[in-house]
Amino acid sequence: MVFKKRFTTDVLLDFMKRLVRQNKRKVYLIVDNHPVHRAQRISRWLKANTDHICRVYLPPYSPELNPDEFLNQDVKSNSVGRHRPHDQEEMISNVRRYLRSRQRRPNLVKCYFHAESVRYAGL
């Protein structure tokens, strides 16, 4: 999901609702200790949706354990870094196109979980 504004509880709630809607199986959402991840509104929504989603916290200060970092690096290296956008709209379009291409190729996404530090999340 790409968004222009600040990361808020509204943004995270929208993201989680989309995750639940798009997946038939229970989702395990791995989060760091960002204040939005710990917000009461998020906790209430998660409690009401325990059959569909579970929040799992990473230990503090451990980005090496975050599988998201592998996706971020992939996007930066292969979408943003290879094609210099002329403006923000073009950059967003490029990133969305790249993320959709990854979404259609789950075998490539599975590779993010081959690193020893994040193998736990691919089980």
pLDDT by residue (tens digit) across 47-77?
999 999 999 998 888 888 888 888 888 888 8
One-letter identity of residue 5: K
Q: Which residues of the chain have pLDDT under 70?
A: 123
Q: Are residues 32 and 73 in the same domain?
A: no
Say what the pLDDT of residue 42 is.
Answer: 97
Q: Are residues 53 and 36 in the same domain?
A: yes
The whole-angstrom distance between residue 15's C-alpha and the CA centroid of its chain comes to 9
Q: Are residues 40 and 93 in the same domain?
A: no
> Residue 12: which of 71, 114, 32 has the closest Cα?
32
- The DSSP code for 29 is E
Q: Are residues 96 and 81 in the same domain?
A: yes
Q: Are residues 39 and 91 in the same domain?
A: no
Say what the pLDDT of residue 26 is.
Answer: 95
CA torsion through residues 50, 69, 93, 5, sign: positive
Say what the pLDDT of residue 41 is.
Answer: 97
Integer-rounded Cα Rg, in Å, for the chain is: 15
Q: Are residues 76 and 22 in the same domain?
A: no
Domain count, the chain: 2
Q: What angle do CA 5, 22, 62 make, to 5 degrees?
A: 55
Say what the pLDDT of residue 49 is.
Answer: 97
Say what the pLDDT of residue 123 is.
Answer: 59
Q: Are residues 53 and 82 in the same domain?
A: no
99: containing domain: 62-123
